[in-house]
Structure 1
Amino acid sequence: MNPSIYPSGDVFDVIGIGIGPFNLGMAALLESVPEIHSLFLEKESDFQWHPNMMIEGTTLQVPFLADLVSMADVKNEYSFLNYLQEHNRLYQFYFLEKFHIPRKEYNHYCQWVSERLSSCRFGRDVRGIIPIEVEGRTLYQVTAKNVETDEVEQYITKHVVMGIGTVPFVPEPFREYLGSTVCHTSDYLGKKQEWGRDQSVVVIGSGQSAAEVFLDVAKTQKEGKGNLQWYTRSKGFFPMEYSKLGLEYFSPDYTDFFYPLPQSKKDKLIQDQDLLYKGISAETIAQIYDHLYEQSIGNVSPNILLQAMTEMTSIYKTDTGWRLDGFHRLKEEKVAADTDIVVLGTGYRPALPDFLSKLEEWIPKDEHKRYFIKKDYSLENQIHAEGKIFVQNGELHTHGVGAPDLGLGAYRNAVIINQMAGREVYPVHSKNVFQTFGVNDADKHSYVTS
């Protein structure tokens, strides 16, 4: 079938690719910006936020104010508080007295917003972007396939916003074995339905997802016969940094400090800040400890092992399940584990989307194959188009640890929207925290030595 322009002859001001929380937030904020004609495309049939990690009892790791819009426009009709009001849940939430809302409710809130926005089109799999000349203007042509009808659709836009985020990372030794009994945490609940209570499970990783899976398996297995083992190459099962001053690193102020640093210093800083965004919440650690304590009453030894400083490096199939081999990183001794199930909490990596393949020659990358992203969140390129290609949650290496944080999503959207509109639609403040990350201008003086 020949591609069709939809709508015929229409030129959008911006097309967003991928509808996760960040692009959904942009779509919501653009509803009150009439001069910007927008469209957002998503290959899935509806909004789903990490559906296979929607474990009972899990919560967001950020306060509810880190919704789609509030940190840019607290009066916006698509705020979480308005969602509660529309669902007659304000009093229940008031009495709940919690800042961190259930993950399940955050997902339902986002679904509610997506269903109300006419700019959001689901079931559209974006296949490519190319520059195109339209009446003397260099714009972008976005090609997508309608998943339901297989029809190819083409759209013309001035700006593009990539909201594709990150993809699950699986270490090379495990990739060929992925399936029903070896999976990444991003597939956990879908695979769990195929497992039994008596099967042994190994969890690898030390982040929040690994911890949540470990706790869920431990609860499921408490009356079963399977054993549970948890390994991480990290130095321990440590909590995520969550002090009030520590949280200030997830602010526009820290981004302003971080961005102009040399890339070598940025990379070193990010490595040293793992516990700002890769640790386990103190609440989850407490729940795990409480479960282990209860299971050990009466000097019972639960069939559970937690072992840090241990890296699993290989896996192979046995007659009864899987064999994992590795080593203790400090003692330098071999470690082995036999199991039925392996769950990999090995994190995520930035996505390099296939739909940019035809633009590769115009988009430079650094030695680590990372994009160069400007302070305004636009992708550095040599296309010389009228508009820009903006990046959502792909700028950790350039903008710092706040890139994937939901609390900075509305701020980043405000910065991007103000550029597209050519005016200050949403105020962007320069002073948001109490501490100073660089050198305070008032403290800068020259020193004279004798």
Structure 2
Amino acid sequence: MSGGVRESEGPLDVAGVGCGPFNLSLGALADGVPGLRWAVFEQRRSFSWHPGLLVDGATLQVPFLADLVSLADPSSRWSFLSHLRARERLFPFYFAERFHIERVEYDAYCRWVCDGLAADGPGGDGVGGGLRFGHQVDAVRWNGERALFEVDFTRLDEAGEAEALGRAYARNVVLGIGTAPHVPEQLRPLAGAPSLPVVHAADYLAHRDRLVAAGHVTVVGSGQSGAEVFLDLLRARPVGGEGLRWLTRSPAFAPMEYSKLGLEHFTPDYTRYFHGLPERVRDGLVPRQWQLHKAVDHETLAAVHDELYRRAVRCGWPDVVLTPGVAVRTAGRLGSSQLELHLEHAEQGERSPLVTDAVVLATGYRERPAERLLAALAPLVRRDAAGRPLIDGGFRMGLDPSVTGGVYVQNGERHSHGVGAPDLGLGAYRSAVILNGVSGEEPFVLPGRTAFTSFGLRGGASGSSGSSGPLIGAGRRADSGVVNGVFPSGC
């Protein structure tokens, strides 16, 4: 590793930390803002979006318009439709009439955008704009004398080893460090053991062959990932010899709330409404809204039932057990080749052991902590009663007034902005709000109203939907054509 810290030439307006879909959206939209100096730093050598879950046939749960840019700037050259045109698939897509695209196609689209936005590759020094893969951000601190953030990074070589140290200066920082697979505490001693396959769904494809060959497999968790893994295993195992068990703590293998008015919980209107609620009310709401974001889409549930019925017709009841309302209390090894899960049924209050040969944990994800990255800023961060950073309506972290720059958050604000935080459909809008906040010129015209539902008593037809005020940095509002709740003549 070369000695010393190499500094960038002049400050960036925006430095993104982490390159998942949300900060990739930030870069794609920033690319269209004249004069804006930006860079996104990512420690991986290339873009990768849930590679372990790119199961054949699995689709996104949001329409293709929820790409990186369209819901904020449909004219952007980085839209999904532009990707199709560049790949000469626009007419085939048109005739396919697909509103929900496959995950592998979304991943390919994101990689196409990355290729177009990459600066000069991982060998660069972090100067100037573009995506900077192979750059691990180590610390972010505030330099009061220069009124800039210092972003310290390590440039990594092909093997992931440290190659050089660098430092960029930025007026604003956007955290997009994403989420990490969650393994329940009682199963952590078993997860990743080489002798027994106990794997998180995030790593499913890497272990698929071994899981298909196992004598008995248990899938824990009933979200979309759990359903897709279960369905894929079911289809791959022999009729009459499936040896599958699917468990969930949820009271049912429930469908996602996908009614059109229900989906309005994923609009900026609802985000504003949720942000304006008291903290204790917000904290109580999120767990009750699990069917908005933790359930399974109707088509996947139907496909599971269809496959089970097809097998029942051919060979009687399949060797499959699906049990909701069950928690895994403890788990341990049983000899050298099996696992024993100790189950408890919530409604019956009964307990029972389950012997299995492999476990797939579809137990979701948790926000990655930013404490180490922001250690130098910790004394300056304003926090709520639970110790979480305060995030304002414009996705900006609350900091001491002495910090004149902004730290913005992507997919780390569910506690303050609600269930839409991890949703791809709100990604472009949030990125546009952030860029309006940092550019000073508000380059993105954002809608004043996005839902037919008025979520609170304040606002009504004006479109504020009960919010406590407009989003900070939200930019100019498009005219809805409604004045004092009255539509213009001719409507």
TM class, shorter-length: over 0.9
Identity of aligned residues (%): 40
- CA distance in 2 between partners of 1:31 and 1:298 (Å): 56
- CA distance in 1 between partners of 2:151 and 2:417 (Å): 27
Superposed displacement of residue 195, structure 1: 3.7
Q: Which letter maps to 2:153?
A: A
Aligned to 1:301: 317
Structure 1-normalised TM-score?
A: 0.94
Deviations 1:29-72 (A, max 9, x none): 11111221001011111111000000010000000000000001
Which residue of 360, 385, 391 corresponds with 2:409? Answer: 391
Q: Which letter maps to 1:350?
A: E
Residue 80 of structure 2 corresponds to residue 71 of structure 1: no
For the 8 Å contact 1:204–1:231, the answer to whether it is kept is: yes
Which residue of 100, 115, 131 corresponds with 1:120? Answer: 131
Which residue of 240, 249, 255 corresponds with 2:256? Answer: 240
Deviations 1:279-318 (A, max 9, x none): 1000100110011001111451211110011111111011
Residue 219 of structure 2 corresponds to residue 219 of structure 1: no
Unaligned runs of 5+ in 2: 120-129, 463-491
For the 8 Å contact 2:6–2:165, the answer to whether it is kept is: no
Superposed displacement of residue 126, structure 1: 1.1
Aligned residues: 441
Superposition map of 1:319-330 within 5 A: 319=335, 320-330=337-347
For the 8 Å contact 1:197–1:225, the answer to whether it is kept is: no
Which moved further from structure 2: 335-344 or 79-88? 335-344
Aligned to 1:140: 149
Secondary structure in structure 1 of the residue aligned to 2:213: coil
Aligned to 1:46: 46
Superposition map of 1:81-92 within 5 A: 81-92=81-92
Residue 32 of structure 2 corresponds to residue 19 of structure 1: no
Superposition map of 1:160-179 within 5 A: 160-179=173-192
Secondary structure in structure 2 of the residue aligned to 1:373: coil
Which moved further from structure 2: 386-395 or 225-234? 225-234
Superposed displacement of residue 224, structure 1: 8.3
- CA distance in 1 between partners of 2:53 and 2:175 (Å): 24
Secondary structure in structure 2 of the residue aligned to 1:285: helix
Q: Which letter maps to 1:111?
A: R
Residue 430 of structure 2 corresponds to residue 412 of structure 1: yes
- CA distance in 2 between partners of 1:6 and 1:18 (Å): 20
- CA distance in 2 between partners of 1:89 and 1:263 (Å): 47
Taking a change above 3 Å as real, the CA distance of residues 137 and 230 of structure 1, as seen in their structure-2 partners, is: same
- CA distance in 2 between partners of 1:271 and 1:24 (Å): 29
Aligned to 1:131: 142
- CA distance in 2 between partners of 1:441 and 1:160 (Å): 33
For the 8 Å contact 2:240–2:319, the answer to whether it is kept is: no
For the 8 Å contact 2:242–2:318, the answer to whether it is kept is: no
Residue 361 of structure 2 corresponds to residue 352 of structure 1: no
- CA distance in 1 between partners of 2:427 and 2:342 (Å): 40
- CA distance in 2 between partners of 1:184 and 1:74 (Å): 36
Taking a change above 3 Å as real, the CA distance of residues 277 and 58 of structure 1, as seen in their structure-2 partners, is: same
Structure 2-normalised TM-score?
A: 0.87
Which residue of 287, 312, 318 corresponds with 1:271? Answer: 287
Aligned to 1:447: none
- CA distance in 2 between partners of 1:293 and 1:153 (Å): 59
Superposed displacement of residue 199, structure 1: 2.6
Superposed displacement of residue 196, structure 1: 4.6
- CA distance in 2 between partners of 1:363 and 1:18 (Å): 20
Superposed displacement of residue 116, structure 1: 0.6
- CA distance in 2 between partners of 1:346 and 1:383 (Å): 39
- CA distance in 2 between partners of 1:34 and 1:160 (Å): 19
Residue 199 of structure 2 corresponds to residue 186 of structure 1: no
- CA distance in 2 between partners of 1:218 and 1:226 (Å): 7
Residue 350 of structure 2 corresponds to residue 333 of structure 1: yes
